[in-house]
Structure 1
Amino acid sequence: MSDFGLGVSGLAAMFALMILRMPVGMAMLAVGYFGIVIMNGDRSANALLVTEAFSATANYSLTVIPLFILMGNIASATGFSRRLYEAAFAWVGGLRGGLASASIVGCAAFSAVSGSSVATAVTIGKVALPEMKRFGYSDALATGSIAAGGTLGFLIPPSTGFVLYAILTEESIGQLFMAGILPGLLLTALFMITVTLVTLRNPEAGPRGAAVSWPERMRAVLRAAPLLAIILTSIGGIYFGVFTPVEAAGIGAGLIILMALVMGKLPWGVLTDAVLDTVRTTAMLYLIIIGASVLNPFLALTQVPATLGEGLTSLGLGPYGVLLAIVVIYLLLGMFMDGLAMLVVTIPIFFPIMTGLGFDPIWFGVVAVILIEMGMITPPVGLNVFVVKSVAKDVPMSTIFRGVLPFWFAMAACLLLIVVFPQIAVMIPQAMFR
């Protein structure tokens, strides 16, 4: 078998292992390790496993992952995240479909704390779904807005998706974080417009919530102000160059723990649970990174990325034709693969192709993350749909998928705007590092 054939067989074996429910990181690790054993022998494979596992986990930049995860877990466990939703509810809840829009705004705000789509969907879903059910919202709109809003956790900084992309491509985490701000705000606005269009078409899907007085609106904002201040301190500090992303993560986590202690909302049991959950999530992400670090040298040896790149460019599609082909591949993969798995498997293959065609690597990072977000609500896998189903146990899966469909098209519109107007993604990073 040729080297290229071995590489393709390895990828097929990896997908098969994932289908059989093997953890993503272990599937990549097994294929990469045994593939190198076949090609270069066990001594080479053992040496690669040791060196890559150490170098991947010893990467100082990866420290942002556990720190921001801890920050999100503390915010969720202490109830601070609920205040974000309540503030959004106070301002837009009285509009038609306002509770769904408030859920999306709450998801966007909590995304700036957690960096996780799953954590965002679960946290806001537990708060918002009972409220929407109480006001008579349709199950499709209620669950669809939470599932779609949760995907913002993968785009709005501090995004774990951008951290992994930066590690895989050796790009700047700070620039990628800044690149996600405007697209994240744009996508939030498009989601809210989608809610408006859905409720205009079917007013019964999203009745108005209770009117909230101006004094109560201001009190809701003041209650959420401490957490908002921590978010602005972390993200703003990166933008103004006051501290690095790792330092921003440490400051954010430290401030939120201090705030919880001062307010008496962090008993020992809550802190222990938050730390244990952080360790479990971090271990899962680190295993994926180690697996990718072993798989990528195997793919490089088999010339799979180079061969696929040459094949795409030889079709004569031009830069944007190749981009369209990659978009289609991502959409197809999103029907069957987890978002993080898609990221670590495809970026080593597609990144050299896109940069070789002259596309900005930071811009492509935003495009890739949005495509992976779309996969999070695409049937039949749709990770965020299953997450929302775990919260809304009485709602059929078909109803949730029907509810996310309008938001999927909103994501497609956001992606198109970023392709047509790339400055949406690169304007802040360029201004920051000018």
Structure 2
Amino acid sequence: MTPFAVCLVGIAGLFALMILRTPVAFAMLCVGFFGYWTLEGFRSAGGVLLTESYSAVSNYNLIVVPMFVLLGNVSSVAGFSRGLYDAAFAWVGRFRGGLASASVLGCAAFATVSGSSVATPVTLGKVALPEMKRLGYSDSLATGSIAAGGTLGFLIPPSTGFVLYAILTQESIGRLFMAGILPDLLLMVLFMVAIWTVPLLGQAAPLLGVIVVSIGGIHLGVFTPVEASGVGAALVIFMAITKRRLTFALFRTAVLETLSTSAMLYTIVIGANVLNPFFAVTQIPATLGEGLSSLGFGAYGTLLVIILTYVVLGMFMDGLSMLVITVPVMFPVILQFGFDPIWFGVVAVIVIEMGMITPPVGLNVFVVRGIAGDVPLMTVFGGVTPFLITMIVGLALIVAFPQIALLIPNTMFGN
């Protein structure tokens, strides 16, 4: 078999393993190892497995993940998330759809300290959904605002999606973090506009202070993203202890959840690092780039094809799986057409986040459905539809005006 044929068999096997519910990390690991073995021999495949596994887990930049995850978990168990929601309600509660708008703001604020699209609706949903139900909000708007607000977690720093994208493409984590700020604010405003159309500040001060110190410190160049993650985690633990909100049992729960999440991501990175050399040997990225060029769609036509591919994949796969499988193939194509890699990272993450609320999978929809209890699944999907439309509008604006994503990183780090 030719290397290209071996690659096609490998990709088919990868999807087959995931359909059989094999964890994506081990699916990539198996396909990468056996594919490389087929083309280069067992000894070379073993060498790739050893060296890539070690380089993946010893990557200094990945420390960002467990530190920020720990920060978010401690904030959740210590009850700080309630203060964020109360403050958001104080700011926008008097406006039309104020409680739903407060939910979006609260999700954005909590996402800033957790970086998780799943943890955000779980945490804020437990606080916001009962309040919206008590005040007579429709089930669709209540659940839709929480599910959509949770998608901000993958875009706003410290985004695990940006960290993983940076590791896969060797781009700057700091630039990606800064690139996500304006697009995230844009989506947050659009979400609130969608809510409008169809100060308890002291309670929020602890987490708002952590946000200012960690993200502000990166912006001012006081410390790196890795250092910011450690500082943020230490600050929130210290505040939780001094306020007597953190018992040993709660801290143990937060640490165990952090270990589980971090181990999952590290394993995915190992799998991706083993899969990528297999793709490189088969020349599939170069072949795909030549194939797309020969179609004559041009740069933006090709970008549209890539975005539509992400949309389709997002209906069946979770965000991290899409990222690690597609970026090694799509990234060389993006560079070939002259697109900015930081800007494309923002575009890719937004499209992946759209998949979090798109049928038939819509992971955030299922998460919120589990919290809401008796609300039908189709009601939740109906509720997220206006937010999905606004995400499409926001994506179109970022594609049309790349400076929305590039202004802050270019100002801080230069072009």
Q: Is the TM value for this pair above 0.5? A: yes
Is 1:124 paired with 2:136? no
Q: What's the secondary structure of 1:117's corresponding residue?
A: coil
What amino acid maps onto 1:177 in structure 2? Answer: F
When structure 1 is superposed on structure 2, of 328-337 and 389-398 the one drifting more is 389-398
Of 216, 222, 225, the match for 2:205: 225
Describe how 1:97-108 pairs up with structure 2 within 5 A: 97-108=97-108
Of 212, 215, 226, the match for 1:246: 226
How far the C-alpha of 1:12 sits from its partner, in A, is: 1.3
Aligned partner of 1:330 in structure 2 is 310
Q: Deviations over 1:108-141 (max 9, x none)?
A: 0001100000011111111101111111111111
Post-superposition, which runs of at least 4 consecutive aligned residues in structure 1 deviate over 3 A?
A: none
Q: What's the secondary structure of 1:377's corresponding residue?
A: coil
Q: Deviations over 1:289-309 (max 9, x none)?
A: 011001111111111111111
Q: How many residues align?
A: 414
Q: Deviations over 1:404-427 (max 9, x none)?
A: 111111100010000111100000
- Could you tell me how far apart the structure 2 residues matched to 1:5 and 1:380 are? 31
Of 400, 407, 413, the match for 1:420: 400
Q: Deviations over 1:193-228 (max 9, x none)?
A: 011111xxxxxxxxxxxxxxxxxx2xx101111210
Q: What's the secondary structure of 1:37's corresponding residue?
A: helix
How far the C-alpha of 1:399 sits from its partner, in A, is: 1.0
What amino acid maps onto 2:324 in structure 1? Answer: V
Aligned partner of 2:249 in structure 1 is 269
How far the C-alpha of 1:20 sits from its partner, in A, is: 1.2
What amino acid maps onto 2:334 in structure 1? Answer: M
Of 272, 276, 281, the match for 2:261: 281
- Could you tell me how far apart the structure 1 residues matched to 2:100 and 2:43 are? 56
Aligned partner of 1:153 in structure 2 is 153
- Could you tell me how far apart the structure 2 residues matched to 1:197 and 1:346 are? 36
CA contact (8 A) 2:289 2:336 kept: no
- Could you tell me how far apart the structure 2 residues matched to 1:390 and 1:288 are? 26
Length-normalised TM-score, structure 2: 0.99
Is 1:307 paired with 2:260? no
Is 1:14 paired with 2:14? yes
How far the C-alpha of 1:314 sits from its partner, in A, is: 1.2
Q: CA RMSD in A?
A: 0.8
Q: What's the secondary structure of 2:118's corresponding residue?
A: helix
Aligned partner of 1:44 in structure 2 is 44
Describe how 1:14-413 pairs up with structure 2 within 5 A: 14-198=14-198, 217=199, 220-413=200-393
How far the C-alpha of 1:95 sits from its partner, in A, is: 2.4
When structure 1 is superposed on structure 2, of 49-58 and 38-47 the one drifting more is 38-47
How far the C-alpha of 1:257 sits from its partner, in A, is: 0.5
- Could you tell me how far apart the structure 2 residues matched to 1:418 and 1:373 are? 15
- Could you tell me how far apart the structure 1 residues matched to 2:286 and 2:386 are? 37
Identity of aligned residues (%): 66
How far the C-alpha of 1:186 sits from its partner, in A, is: 0.4
How far the C-alpha of 1:96 sits from its partner, in A, is: 2.4
How far the C-alpha of 1:393 sits from its partner, in A, is: 2.1
- Could you tell me how far apart the structure 1 residues matched to 2:140 and 2:4 are? 45
- Could you tell me how far apart the structure 1 residues matched to 2:39 and 2:374 are? 51
Q: Which runs of 5+ in 1 are unaligned?
A: 199-216
How far the C-alpha of 1:161 sits from its partner, in A, is: 0.3
When structure 1 is superposed on structure 2, of 173-182 and 44-53 the one drifting more is 44-53
Q: Which runs of 5+ in 2 are unaligned?
A: none
Q: What's the secondary structure of 1:238's corresponding residue?
A: helix
How far the C-alpha of 1:232 sits from its partner, in A, is: 0.7
- Could you tell me how far apart the structure 1 residues matched to 2:384 and 2:279 are? 35
